[in-house]
Amino acid sequence: MISVIQKISRELSVVWATGGVINQEDVEIYEYGLQLLISSVINILVIAAVSIVFRLPYAWIPFIAAFIPLRTTAGGYHASTHLLCILSFTVSFTVLLALIQTMPFLCSEIYFGACATISLIAVLVLSPVQASNKPLTARETARNRRKSIIIAACFLVPAVLSYFWPLLKCKYFLSFYNGELAAAISLVVGDRHAK
């Protein structure tokens, strides 16, 4: 069964090819790119809406600021459909956002440090977890591994600074570390799913 996202992407790519905007032989490439773009936009819009519902309207921004760089370099779980991708991302964001609202004691340097340390360990042990439909070359694997380690190590710095700078202990800072934790969880689940 073809998804709505695939259908829209396919039709738009064909229209572009028919109109001479792209070459006919590039339709599949553009279709795939549009699927990723549309899925990503929907993901962001949904978690932005969830943030508003939880009365933390900007919580999605620090979450994706941590999630995207780590997830794109370290890899992780790849859902079999766009709907499952959107659903799994939304559920993980919602659960972690609910923790912020129900457990304010998590807004502490201990939690930030734990998230950053767990993520760094996961990256050191597992990164990168490749998508089965898009294997990496040896050079890409080495580059992504190096980048993900640097990113995870850099994320540890503000966690350590939060011990000395109380202003960093806020719900939006917590959302950042939840984004990093979500990326680390995706990495672990992706590794287990690949085996």
Residue-wise pLDDT for 131-181, tens only, equals 766 778 889 989 999 999 999 999 999 888 887 876 666 778 888 999 999
Q: What does pLDDT average to over the chain? A: 88
Residue-wise pLDDT for 46-79, tens only, equals 999 999 999 989 999 999 999 999 999 999 888 8
The single-letter code of the amino acid at 64 is I
Task: Please say if the pLDDT value at position 1 is more than 60.
Answer: no
Task: Please say if the pLDDT value at position 192 is more than 70.
Answer: yes
Query: Whole-prediction pTM value?
Result: 0.85
Is residue 77 within 8 Å of residue 186, measured between CB atoms?
yes
Long-range contacts of residues 163-169, Cβ cutoff 8 Å, at least 24 apart: 163/109, 163/113, 168/109, 168/112, 169/107, 169/108, 169/109
